[in-house]
């Protein structure tokens, strides 16, 4: 049971929180404010914080729609917005490593690009297909195919300790990294 003293203390606390019947409050332009400027400053900070969090929450909710377009259909495929499917194919390179290749299919199941070496390239190709920039999608695919060509050259040249093969390995590695930089340039331009 609540005593009369506790009830009065609670009413006093609620009145203070609501600025009602408090000698430390004043009414300015029909709005109650506290006579202590520190309290008003803290109130302004809390209002700004509340406004910022509401804005950030709204932005996050809008962006979730973009993130939800990428869905894993199975262990070996990813759906992008229901428009395209990226199928993952694994190739065993040696006892320890596998190389993933990606094939891009439209919603009708027609293969549009095959054996894409980098997942980033596959996603960028799909992005360009969605925005109907077919020329850029084709350019990214060609760069990606050059990348895998040099990667394979490196793979086979590395097995030998012959100086000529070492030179081929270094050359292929340099060219592969050069192509990768060109791909990055496409992605961020």
Pairwise CA distance, residues 97 & 93, whole Å: 6
Residues 145 and 118: their CA atoms lie apart, in Å, by 10
Do 150 and 179 touch, CB atoms closer than 8 A? yes
pLDDT tens for 6-39 read: 878 877 777 766 655 555 556 666 666 666 677 6
Q: Which residues pair with 27 in a beta bridge?
A: 32
What is the model's pLDDT at position 66? Answer: 42
Average pLDDT of the residues of the chain: 78
Residue 121 CB neighbour total at 10 angstroms: 25
Predicted TM-score of the model (pTM): 0.58
- pLDDT tens digits, 51-107: 766 666 566 545 544 445 556 667 788 888 778 889 999 888 777 778 889 999 998
Q: 94: burial class by Cβ within 10 Å (0-12, 13-18, 19+)?
A: exposed
Where residue 130 falls among pLDDT bands split at 50, 70, 90? confident
Cα separation, 55 vs 179, in Å, equals 41
Is residue 142 very low, low, confident or very high in pLDDT (cuts 50, 70, 90)?
very high
């Amino acid at each position: 049971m609540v005593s009369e003293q506790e009830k009065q203390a609670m009413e006093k606390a609620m009145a203070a929180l609501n600025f009602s019947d408090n000698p430390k409050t004043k009414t300015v332009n029909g709005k109650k404010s506290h006579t202590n400027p520190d309290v008003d400053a803290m109130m302004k900070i809390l209002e700004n914080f509340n406004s910022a969090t509401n804005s950030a929450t709204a932005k996050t909710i809008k962006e979730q729609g973009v993130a939800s377009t990428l869905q894993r259909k199975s262990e070996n495929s990813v759906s992008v917005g229901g428009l395209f499917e990226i199928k993952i194919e694994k190739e065993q390179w040696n006892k320890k490593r596998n190389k993933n290749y990606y094939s891009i299919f439209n919603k009708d199941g027609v293969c549009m690009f095959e054996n894409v070496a980098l997942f980033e390239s596959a996603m960028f190709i799909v992005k360009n297909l969605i925005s109907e920039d077919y020329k850029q999608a084709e350019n990214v695919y060609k760069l990606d195919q050059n990348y895998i060509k040099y990667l394979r050259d490196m793979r086979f040249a590395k097995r030998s300790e012959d100086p000529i093969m070492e030179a081929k390995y270094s050359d292929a590695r340099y060219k592969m990294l050069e192509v990768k930089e060109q791909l990055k340039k496409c992605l961020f331009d």
